[in-house]
Each structure stands twice: as structure tokens, then as C-alpha cells.
């Protein structure tokens, strides 16, 4: 029942929020997100004690043999926790802010949270697809209604990409359903096992394109920098902190175990594309002057490494990916909160016009340095263990792949340290001399993030143990 509550609380709160006025929407959104985080923590403990107790199944559309079937494994529990935590961090950090049509803004945010959680717990392909769309559709409206000056063409591009990806996935689901006889996860695995090699191959690309667009992976990434730049920053936090994990999760849950032979056959090509994305996005990030676009390209590089590690197909790399999914989400949300603070205070994001913030707002400077160093995987920060495991896993497959992908570490240090230097050090100017430091809500969100960065950097064992079973389950599909 706890698994259902994870979806039900934001879903009901989101619907109710549309009818509220004044400060009601943001208060309900915050209370709902805190309640969902509490349920996520209890569900995590319940999963550790008795995994079967988190599984719920009920008839949904009996004519199609589609069930409302949800449950947790280690990876799903971790991602549900990340989702719940992300929305608390976002709502706390923007609590002092006022949005036009706030009822619609917070209502759509909560509906997106319900969809995201549903994606991570669904054990039925039809249910997975419904939640996939429920997560994406609110984001489309959020970007198009509260975004920047170029929001309409950018959102249209985002819609076209996601629509094509969803269409590809739907065709794949229907084809597998016709062979499996139901939409159940285990039935899909059994049904796909009876398909010919050629059928598995084209089905692989249908699902992979859908997931690769969402991650995004080179060359399907072009919607991402524009969307991140033009979206309202709270939405960008959710897009980059949680929503890109939908694609990675889809590959780990619905692609590799269902179509293992095709996944193994195309692994080298996917790894090459992912590694090209790492180097390409890192180089582009270096020359960016807009903070949002720089962080957007850095995210493409990090996700590229995760994608390459997934297709390395060994326990080391898979554990690294799953751990990094959580840690990257925490770090990137922290960076976006600071970018949002700077943009709200000064009205600019161009690094050429910034500088000297450390002398006027020391708390912003300290948090930015710590989170940026975690983002470049400095040892004893949470980013280190995941990247180390992923590189180790890729090394076991191909040393040259690891060597080229490793350039991403050097390049990420270049653009992150350059950003720190240009934004917070040096002399302040007429604009930055008026910057004010963090509010209580912003300080709370960033403090929580830094505590997680240090705790998981020094003691990653709980997170590694949580995802161990999930990584072994993926490998079992390959007979390893």
C-alpha cells in the first residue's frame, strides 16, 4: 500500500491544487512533497525488511490483461526516494517566490511527480507507458507557460522529440504484448525470448530511441540544452535531476532484461555513441558563457558515461550507474538551485557579467564550490564512487573506451573550475555588488544537499547495498 501512496499523494494533491487560491497551492505542494518523502523513507525500510510487502497487484483492464501492478526493488526504491527528495528541495527553495497562475504551476508539478514515481514502480508495460506520459505532459505545459522568451519553439521541439520517442515505445510494447499475451513484466521477458534475432534487433531500437531521447544520448540530445535554458528553473531541476533518470531506468528495467541478446549485440555501438557524447558535450560546455547551457551540456556528458557503463554489462559498471543516478540527481539539483538564486537576484546568467559574488554572498560561494567539486567527482564526495565504478566497469570491456571516456573527467574539471572562477571570485561589479545571500529556504535545501554529498561520499555502503540486488537481476538476464 505504501507504493501506491507514493503515487496517490502527489496525484490527489495535484488535482486539489488546481482549485486553490493565494498561498494555498504552494503550501499544499510543500506539505504533499514532505508527506511523500516520509512515505518514501518508510517504504524503503519496508523494502529492506520484506520486499514482497511493497508489491501491489490488482485488475485494471481485464480485456487487455493489463494490471495495476506496482512494486519496489532496490533501484526503484532509490529512485522513488530521489524523486520525493527532489520535489521537497525544489518546493522549499522556491517557497518565498510568487508565480503567476500558481495553482496551475504547482498542480502540474505534482502531477509530474506522480507520473515519475509511477514510472519507477510500474511492473506492467501498459501502466509504465501511462505513467511515462503522465510525467511528460505536465512538463510540456510548464515549459510552454512559464518558460523564457523562446519557450514556444523550444517546447515544440521538446514535444516532437518526446512524442516520437513515445510512439516508438508504444509500437514496441504492442508488438511484445501480442507475443507475450499480457503486459506483465515477467510475461514480456518470456514473450521476447521466443522472438527471432531480427525481431529483437528492431524492437531494441524502438525502445532504445525512446529511452535515449529522454536521457538524452548523442545524437538525440539537441532538445535538451534549449529546453533546460528556456524552462523555468524549478522545472529544469526536475528535468535534469529526476526526469533524465527515466531513460536510464527504462534501459535497465525494460530493455536489457527483456531484449538481452539484442542489447549485447548493439552494446559497442551504443557505447561509442555515448562516449562521443561525453567528449562532445564537455567541449561545448567549456565554451559556454550562459550558466544554464553550461550545466545542461555537463549533464549530457555525465549521462553519456552512465549510458556507456550500462552497456558494459558487468556488475561493477551497473552498480556504479545506479549509485550515480541518485548522486547525479542530488548534485545537479544543487547546481540549479544556485543558478536560480543568481538569476533571481541579479537577472543575468552570463558568466562574463558575473564575478565577485564570494565577497558579497559567501554562503552562495561556499555551496557552489562544494557542489561543483562533487559534480566533478572529487574523492570523498558522493560523485566519486559512482564514476570510479563506472570507469572500472568500462575498463573491463575496452581500455580504449575507458581512456576516451576518461577525458570527460579532465574536461569537467576545466569547465567547472572555470565557472567557479568567473562567477564567485574576482572583483564585483555594478550588478554583482548588490547580490544578497541565501534565504532560509534556500539555505535549508542546499545544506541538505551538501550533507548528502559528504555522507554518501564518505560512506557509500548503504546505497551500494541497496542497488546490489537490482544490478544482479539485470546481469541474470545475460546469464552472467
Whether the Cβ atoms of residue 132 and residue 166 lie closer than 8 Å to each other: yes
What pLDDT is stored for residue 365 in this prediction?
Answer: 92
Give 126-167 pLDDT, tens digit per residue.
Answer: 999 999 999 989 998 998 888 888 888 888 888 888 889 999
What pLDDT is stored for residue 479 in this prediction?
Answer: 63
Give 350-389 pLDDT, tens digit per residue.
Answer: 888 888 888 888 999 999 999 999 999 899 999 999 999 9
In a domain, 111, yes or no: yes
Whether the Cβ atoms of residue 193 and residue 77 lie closer than 8 Å to each other: no
In a domain, 425, yes or no: no
Which grid cell is 269? 555501438
Whether the Cβ atoms of residue 248 and residue 193 lie closer than 8 Å to each other: no
- Rounded distance, CA 46 to CA 315, Å? 25
In a domain, 66, yes or no: yes
In a domain, 181, yes or no: no
Q: Which residue has the cell 527532489?
A: 86
Give 202-242 pLDDT, tens digit per residue.
Answer: 999 999 999 999 888 888 888 888 888 888 888 999 988 99
Q: Which residues contact 167 (CB under 8 A, 6 or more apart)?
A: none
pTM of the model: 0.94
In a domain, 175, yes or no: no
Sign of CA dihedral 231, 223, 119, 67: positive
Strand (E) or helix (H) holding 39: helix 24-49
In a domain, 406, yes or no: no
What pLDDT is stored for residue 480 in this prediction?
Answer: 60
Task: Give the residue ranges of the chain where pLDDT is below 50.
Answer: none
- Rounded distance, CA 200 to CA 121, Å? 25
Instruction: Tell me how many domains the chain contains.
Output: 1
In a domain, 440, yes or no: no
Domain membership of residue 108 as a residue range? 1-146
Report the chain's terminal Cα–Cα distance, integer Å. Answer: 34
In a domain, 3, yes or no: yes
Amino acid at each position: 500500500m505504501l507504493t501506491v501512496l507514493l503515487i496517490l499523494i502527489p496525484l490527489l494533491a495535484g488535482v486539489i491544487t488546481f482549485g486553490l487560491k493565494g498561498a494555498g497551492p504552494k503550501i499544499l505542494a510543500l506539505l504533499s512533497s514532505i508527506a511523500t518523502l516520509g512515505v518514501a523513507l518508510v517504504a524503503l525500510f519496508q523494502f529492506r525488511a520484506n520486499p514482497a510487502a511493497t508489491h501491489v497487484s490488482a485488475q485494471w483492464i481485464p480485456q487487455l490483461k493489463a494490471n495495476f501492478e506496482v512494486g519496489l526493488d532496490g533501484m526503484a526504491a532509490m529512485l522513488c526516494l530521489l524523486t520525493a527528495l527532489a520535489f521537497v528541495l525544489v518546493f522549499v527553495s522556491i517557497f518565498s517566490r510568487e508565480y503567476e497562475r500558481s495553482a496551475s504551476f504547482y498542480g502540474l508539478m505534482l502531477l509530474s511527480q506522480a507520473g515519475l514515481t509511477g514510472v519507477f514502480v510500474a511492473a506492467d508495460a501498459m501502466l509504465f507507458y501511462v505513467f511515462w506520459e503522465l510525467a511528460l505532459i505536465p512538463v510540456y505545459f510548464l515549459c510552454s507557460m512559464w518558460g523564457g522568451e523562446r519557450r514556444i519553439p523550444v517546447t515544440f521541439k521538446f514535444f516532437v522529440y518526446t512524442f516520437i520517442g513515445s510512439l516508438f515505445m508504444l509500437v514496441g510494447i504492442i508488438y511484445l504484448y501480442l507475443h507475450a499475451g499480457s503486459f506483465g513484466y515477467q510475461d514480456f521477458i518470456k514473450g521476447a525470448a521466443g522472438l527471432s534475432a531480427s525481431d529483437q534487433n528492431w524492437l531494441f531500437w524502438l525502445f532504445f530511441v525512446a529511452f535515449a531521447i529522454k536521457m538524452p544520448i548523442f545524437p538525440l540530445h539537441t532538445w535538451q540544452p534549449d529546453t533546460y535554458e528556456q524552462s523555468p528553473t524549478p522545472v529544469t531541476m526536475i528535468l535534469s535531476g529526476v526526469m533524465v533518470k527515466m531513460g536510464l531506468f527504462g534501459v535497465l528495467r525494460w530493455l536489457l532484461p527483456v531484449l538481452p541478446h539484442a542489447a549485447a549485440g548493439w552494446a559497442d555501438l551504443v557505447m561509442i555513441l555515448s562516449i562521443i557524447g561525453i567528449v562532445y558535450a564537455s567541449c561545448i560546455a567549456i565554451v559556454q558563457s550562459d550558466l544554464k547551457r553550461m550545466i545542461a551540456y555537463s549533464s549530457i556528458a555525465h549521462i553519456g558515461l552512465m549510458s556507456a557503463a550500462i552497456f558494459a554489462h558487468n556488475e561493477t559498471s551497473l552498480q556504479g550507474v545506479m549509485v550515480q543516478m541518485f548522486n547525479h540527481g542530488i548534485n545537479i539539483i544543487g547546481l540549479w538551485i544556485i543558478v536560480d538564486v543568481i538569476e533571481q537576484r541579479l537577472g543575468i546568467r552570463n558568466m562574463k557579467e558575473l564575478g565577485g559574488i564570494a565577497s558579497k554572498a559567501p554562503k552562495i560561494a561556499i555551496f557552489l564550490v562544494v557542489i561543483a567539486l562533487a559534480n566533478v567527482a572529487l574523492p570523498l564526495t558522493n560523485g566519486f564512487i559512482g564514476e570510479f565504478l563506472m570507469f572500472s566497469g568500462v575498463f573491463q570491456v575496452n581500455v580504449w573506451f575507458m581512456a576516451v571516456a576518461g577525458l570527460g573527467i579532465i574536461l569537467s574539471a576545466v569547465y567547472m573550475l572555470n565557472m567557479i572562477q568567473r562567477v564567485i571570485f574576482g572583483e564585483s561589479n555594478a550588478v554583482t555588488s548588490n547580490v544578497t545571500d541565501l534565504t532560509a529556504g534556500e539555505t535549508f535545501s542546499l545544506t541538505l544537499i551538501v550533507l548528502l554529498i559528504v555522507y554518501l561520499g564518505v560512506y557509500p555502503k548503504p546505497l551500494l547495498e541497496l542497488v546490489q540486488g537490482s544490478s544482479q537481476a539485470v546481469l541474470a538476464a545475460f546469464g552472467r
